[in-house]
Amino acid sequence: MIALERARELVAAFARQRILVVGDLMLDQYLYGGVERISPEAPVPVVRVRREKRMPGGAANVAVNLRALGGGAALAGTVGRDAAGDELRGLLAGQGIGAEAVMTDAKAPTSVKMRVVAERQQVCRVDWESGVALAGAAADEFDARLRSAVAASTGVVIEDYSKGVVGQRVVDVVIDAAARAGIPVGLDPKDNATLHFSALALATPNCREAHVCAGLPPRNAIADDPLKDATLRKAGEILLAKWNLKQLIVTLGAQGMYLAAPGAAPRVIPTRAREVFDVSGAGDTVIAVCMLVLAAGGTPSEAAALGNDAAGVVVGKLGTASCAPAELLEAVVRDAG
- Predicted model pTM: 0.92
What is the percentage of the chain residues whose pLDDT exceeds 70? 95
Q: In terms of Cα–Cα distance, which of 125, 116, 114, 115 is closest to 35? A: 116
| Cβ atoms within 10 Å of 223's Cβ, excluding its own | 12
For residue 310, tell me if it sits in a domain.
yes
| Phi, then psi, of 163 in degrees rounded to 5 | -100, 0
Beta carbons of 146 and 116 less than 8 angstroms apart: no
Question: Mean pLDDT in the chain?
Answer: 92
Is 50 exceeded by the pLDDT of residue 278? no
Q: Which pLDDT score is estimated for 274?
A: 52
Q: What are phi and psi of 51, to 5 degrees?
A: -155, 160
In the prediction, which pLDDT does 320 show?
57
pLDDT bracket for residue 244 (50, 70, 90): very high
Inform me whether the pLDDT recorded for 336 exceeds 90.
Answer: no
Sequence length of the chain is 337
Q: Note the pLDDT tens digit of each residue in 118-147.
A: 988 889 999 998 888 889 999 999 999 999
Q: Report the alpha-carbon distance of residue 240 to residue 261 in Å, rounded.
A: 7
The answer to whether residue 124 sits within a structural domain is no
For residue 328, is pLDDT > 60? Answer: yes
pLDDT value for 318: 53
User: Which residues form the catalytic set?
Assistant: 284
**Residue 35, domain member (yes or no):** no
Q: Render pLDDT for 180-197 as a digit per residue (tens, 0 to 9).
A: 999 999 999 998 889 999
pLDDT of residue 323: 87
- Amino acid at site 252: L
Distance of alpha carbon 98 from alpha carbon 90, whole angstroms: 11
* DSSP per position, 26-42: EEEEEEEEEEEEE-SSS
Residue 212 has pLDDT above 60, yes or no: yes
- Round to whole Å and give the CA distance between 271 and 34: 31
Domain of 252, CATH number, reads: 3.40.1190.20
Residues in Cβ contact with 330 at an 8 Å cutoff, skipping those fewer than 6 apart: none
| Residue ranges making up the domain that contains 170 | 4-26+57-115+131-336
* Any domain includes 8: yes
The stretch 62-91 carries a mean pLDDT of 97
* CA 178 remoteness from chain centre: 19
DSSP three-state, residue 51 = strand
The residue that leads in pLDDT, 84 or 276, is: 84
| Contact of 204 with 286, CB cutoff 8 Å | yes
* Structural domain includes residue 32: no
Give the total number of structural domains in the chain. 1
Mean local confidence (pLDDT), 255-275: 84
Helix extents (H) in 34-152: 59-68, 83-94, 136-151
DSSP secondary structure code for residue 230 in this structure: H
- What pLDDT sits at residue 131? 83
| Digit-coded pLDDT (tens) for 34-45 | 999 999 999 999
What SS3 class is residue 14? helix
pLDDT: which is higher, 281 or 262: 262
Q: Is residue 303 part of a domain?
A: yes
* 281 pLDDT higher than 70: no
Q: Is 120 within the bounds of a domain?
A: no
> Per the domain annotation, does 100 fall within a domain?
yes
